[in-house]
Amino acid sequence: MWSNVLYIDLETGEHKIRDRSDLFDKYIGGTGVATQLLLEECPPHTDPLSPEAPIIFSIGPLTPIFPCVSKAVAMFKSPQTGELGESYAGGRLAMAMRFAGYDSIVIKGRAPKPSYLSIHDEEVKCKDATSIWNVSSIEVIGKILRDVEPGKGRRSIMRIGEAGVKGVSYANVNVDTYRHFGRLGLGAVFGSKNLKAIVISGTEEVEIPDMDAYKNMYKKLYEAVVDTEVMNKYHDLGTAANINVLNQLKGLPTKNLKQSSFENAESLSGEYFADNLLLRKIACSNCPIGCIHIAMLKTPFHKGHEFEVNHISYDYELIYSLGTNLGITLAEDVLRLIDRCERYGLDVMSTGGVLAWATEAYERDLITPPDTLGIALRWGDTDNYLKIIDRIVKMPNKFYETLAKGTAAASAEYGGEDFAINLGRLEIAGYHTGPASIVGQLVGVRHSHLDNGGYSIDQKAASQQLTEEQMVDKLIYEDYGRNINNSLIACLFARGVYSEDNIVDALASVGINKTKDELATIGREIFLAKYRFKKQEGFDLGDVKVPARFFETVSQMGNIKKETIANMIQLYREKTGV
Amino acid sequence: MPSRIKVANPNRCIGCYSCMLACSRTNADSVSLIDSAIDIRTSGGIESGLQIIVCRSCIDPPCARACPTGALTPRNGGGVVLKNELCDSCKVCADACLPRAIHFDREDMPVICIHCGTCARFCSHDVLEMIKTEVL
Ligand code: SF4
Ligand code: SF4
Ligand code: SF4
Ligand code: SF4
């Protein structure tokens, strides 16, 4: 085991399995292997929505052998940024891939008809999806497939909604209703391949060479996960706890980052959600934390106490992007907006960024009622935002077609680049904490706040007086190191538990012997391989833009200077060689 | 006094499968879901809640009564004990158990709960408990 790659050609419906221990031995698994597969399978300058563009999924050698090793990675060429697409999802997918016996899956081609993949142990079939191709609701597609597919109870179902079918460049892939390959547009890539869904399940077992060593290590890691405050923080209020925290620190992007704190933050806080809307918490397979917070939204739709009840998962980033960043004042309205994005399969963070930019562009008359088809964009106007979301997916005119490509594309067309809040063409995560957050998202391989956790380096810098160089060193350390966590693939929420020492021991307990130094080298190699792909597709760190707004709005660390950012990027390039 | 496993708070389950992995790791020396005597599953997707399926410790176990070979015998304190060498994998026991707590591994052997309590020790949400039973 550890090295089965399933190759599927949607054009012919054929598949083959190859042992790729050459890659797994060297790059561990997860993102390490997926990066190499991407370099192999995606020729330079491939159109991300063409049949030649690959979709690659991967899990790691510890999936699901140790607690919180619960993620699968998807790698592809992003239709939104035109370069590296990399996204992580939890749910049951990683476990389902392991027990089906596949460490990686490579999908290429375009199916001649709307299709879905049905993968159950060694049975791999490409099936007709014509009758569900235009079913817009993510939830309904799941219900339909559950009835016709085997593997009941513990299978994983990935699917796209209308946004993916229509090719919105930030369409996501929904995984098991409440998790997603959210960012960078994997949903549009699915749509371009006529691929509506993937169902996967399996009954394999994993053999462990030394059971006693393994059991001891399991117990140690399990206790570390459940006994530390890691669990409390993510289980209790969840990431939504950050709303009040960042609001007080002036790090909470609000109204398109015109502000970094929000006068109504309290009513969107994690505390408010938990006290008033939280229904229950659930977990990804193999994770005892249970960080997935599900809210219940009850909406009257008729006289006589007729209610529509929706269960909606929420997190900090969602509340920021469709809440504070749009000036929404009611938590219930944030849920309505999240629910609409979920139904269509839209990445919530990018959708919120696009709506925020459009609202400000509308205020400044860069876009006008003829563009929006008469819908006014106003801070806090949930009903109109819902209408705009509908139209981003339906694309009735050129304006909405442009919005469906993201803020960078929209501002290039309509102006307002100074307040088009994106870094590397991706709408930002909810942190205006200081320079490390900005630089971190710019230099990060997938422009994610999780590439290197720049926001938390800012927080350290605030208390410890770090120099620019020290911040850059920390970014680089995380950029390299997280490639190892992401090759296992352990959830980054448990990164406190998966320390370098624990990773070495965990790998050793299942017969994979790597020293700390070797792992550090591999982490760096994976990082550099990703940059090879990025450069091949035209990304140049010497030519990145930071919209003026980032410097105008006060951050947690005061006003950020242009020179600081330029200097840190320069240092980063010198030290990493990218 | 013998003990048995009890599903004490089913609605607290978060669906993490830690209990299943603990059962198969401890009792079958494997990382697997199908070797686990306890079964956590959804019916109708994660949005519809979780089912916890495990032996309910019958005092007069219908599975044992149904077994034609005598491979299953009542356990002191409830539930059953399996004698592997007597079992011929006919699966009659599985049908006799209404909670459907008996399923079969890859070798078609029944996976039977031995009421060891390992799953409860790895459940961090107080869903499972070991309790003392009255019967001796
Ligand atoms: S499968 Fe084995 S234990 Fe079950 S009824 Fe048949 S012989 Fe008895
Ligand atoms: S396996 Fe089923 S029938 Fe047998 S003792 Fe347990 S609950 Fe009762
Ligand atoms: S009590 Fe023991 S045998 Fe029964 S389900 Fe739990 S871990 Fe498995
Ligand atoms: S360990 Fe507890 S919470 Fe997790 S699946 Fe089992 S019963 Fe549910």
DSSP string covering A113-138: SSEEEEEETTEEEEEE-HHHHT---H
**Cis peptide bond N-terminal to A438, omega within 30:** no
**Which ligand has the nearest atom to the CA of B72?**
1
Give residue for tokens 């300058």. A45
The answer to whether residue B123 sits within a structural domain is yes
Residue A334: its H or E element: helix A331-344
- Distance of alpha carbon A534 from alpha carbon A521, whole angstroms: 20
pLDDT of A228 reads 75
User: What phi and psi, each to the nearest 5 degrees, are found at residue A280?
Assistant: -165, 175
Contacts of A126 (CB under 8 A, 6+ apart): A8, A10, A13, A111, A115, A116, A117, A118
**Which residue lies with its CA nearest to atom 3 of ligand 2?**
B97
Mutate to test the interface with A, among B9, B13, B17 (most CBs of A within 10 A): B17
Q: Are strands A115-120 and B39-42 parallel, antiparallel or unpaired?
A: unpaired
Of residues A429, A155, A493, A88, the one with CA closest to residue A293: A493
Give residue for tokens 């067309």. A413
- Distance of alpha carbon A338 from alpha carbon B94, whole angstroms: 44
Of residues A97, A61, A154, the one with CA closest to residue B33: A154
Q: Are strands A104-108 and A4-9 parallel, antiparallel or unpaired?
A: parallel
Span A316-340, pLDDT tens digits: 999 999 999 999 999 999 999 999 9
Q: How many residues does chain A have?
A: 578
For residues A551 and A557, the answer to whether their CB atoms sit within 8 Å is no
Residue A485: its H or E element: helix A468-488
pLDDT of A1 reads 52
CB contact under 8 A, B45 and A205: no
Q: What's at A472, amino acid-wise? A: V
The answer to whether residue B135 sits within a structural domain is no
Give residue for tokens 């999806």. A129
Question: Ligand 3 centroid vs B55 CA: distance in angstroms?
Answer: 9
Work out the burial of residue A390: count CB atoms within 10 Å of its CB; fewer than 13 is exposed, 13-18 middle, 19 or more buried. Answer: middle
For residues A202 and A376, the answer to whether their CB atoms sit within 8 Å is no
3-class SS of residue B33: coil
3-class SS of residue A192: helix
Distances in whole angstroms, Cα of residue A534 to Cα of each of A46, A81, A537: 12, 10, 5
User: What phi and psi, each to the nearest 5 degrees, are found at residue B7?
Assistant: -85, 95
Cβ-based contacts of A178 with chain B (< 8 Å): 46-47
Q: Does B107 touch chain A (CB under 8 A)?
A: no
- Distance of alpha carbon A192 from alpha carbon A83, whole angstroms: 17
Q: Does B2 touch chain A (CB under 8 A)?
A: no
Greatest Cα pair distance, chain A, in angstroms, is 70
Of residues B127, B129, B19, B5, the one with CA closest to residue B77: B5
| Nearest atom, ligand 4, residue A288 CA | 4
User: What phi and psi, each to the nearest 5 degrees, are found at residue A188?
Assistant: -65, -35
For residues A256 and A356, the answer to whether their CB atoms sit within 8 Å is yes
The answer to whether residue B52 sits within a structural domain is yes
- Name the DSSP class of A20: -
A128 beta partners: A115
Provide the number of structural domains found in chain B: 1
For residues A145 and A227, the answer to whether their CB atoms sit within 8 Å is no
Is-above-0.90 flag for pTM? yes
Span A485-498, pLDDT tens digits: 999 999 998 888 99
Helix%, strand%, coil% for chain A, nearest 5: 45, 15, 35
The answer to whether residue B79 sits within a structural domain is yes
Give residue for tokens 């961090």. B124
Q: Give CA A242 to chain center in angstroms.
A: 18
3-class SS of residue A177: coil
CATH number at residue B41: 3.30.70.20
Low-confidence ranges of chain A (pLDDT < 70): 1, 230
The answer to whether residue B78 sits within a structural domain is yes
- Distance of alpha carbon A275 from alpha carbon A331, whole angstroms: 12
Q: How many CB atoms lie within 10 A of CB A280?
A: 16
Q: How is residue A179 written in tokens? A: 């998790």
Residue of B nearest to A96 (CA): B33
CB contact under 8 A, A176 and B43: no
Distances in whole angstroms, Cα of residue A336 to Cα of each of A298, A309, A427: 10, 11, 21
pLDDT of B135 reads 54
Give me the helix-helix angle, A516-536 and A562-576, nearest 10°: 110
Question: Ligand 2 centroid vs B101 CA: distance in angstroms?
Answer: 6
Contacts of A305 (CB under 8 A, 6+ apart): none
Torsion sign over Cα A439, A453, A55, A197: negative
Mutate to test the interface with A, among B13, B47, B108 (most CBs of A within 10 A): B47
The answer to whether residue B134 sits within a structural domain is no
The ipTM is 0.92
**Rounded CA Rg of chain A:** 22
pLDDT of A233 reads 80
Span B30-48, pLDDT tens digits: 999 999 999 999 877 777 7
Work out the minimum CA distance from A286 to partner chain B, whole angstroms.
5
pLDDT of A575 reads 98
User: What phi and psi, each to the nearest 5 degrees, are found at residue A87?
Assistant: -150, 150
- Using a CB cutoff of 8 Å and minimum separation of 24, what contacts does A538-543 make? A538/A82, A538/A83, A539/A81, A539/A83, A539/A84, A539/A424, A541/A442, A541/A443, A541/A569, A541/A572, A541/A573, A541/A578, A542/A573
Give residue for tokens 């980033």. A317
Q: Are strands A55-58 and B50-53 parallel, antiparallel or unpaired?
A: unpaired
pLDDT, one tens digit for every residue, chain B (136 residues): 789 999 999 999 999 999 999 999 999 999 999 999 999 998 777 777 899 999 999 999 999 999 999 999 999 999 999 999 999 999 999 999 999 999 999 999 999 999 999 999 999 999 999 999 865 5
The answer to whether residue B108 sits within a structural domain is yes
Question: Ligand 2 centroid vs B77 CA: distance in angstroms?
Answer: 12
Q: How many CB atoms lie within 10 A of CB A268?
A: 26
The answer to whether residue B13 sits within a structural domain is yes
Alpha helices (runs of H) in A376-467, residue ranges in sequence order: 382-394, 398-403, 407-414, 435-443, 454-464
Q: How many residues does chain B have?
A: 136
pLDDT of A227 reads 83
What range defines the domain where residue B87 resides? 3-129
CB contact under 8 A, B31 and A206: yes
- Distance of alpha carbon A275 from alpha carbon A235, whole angstroms: 14
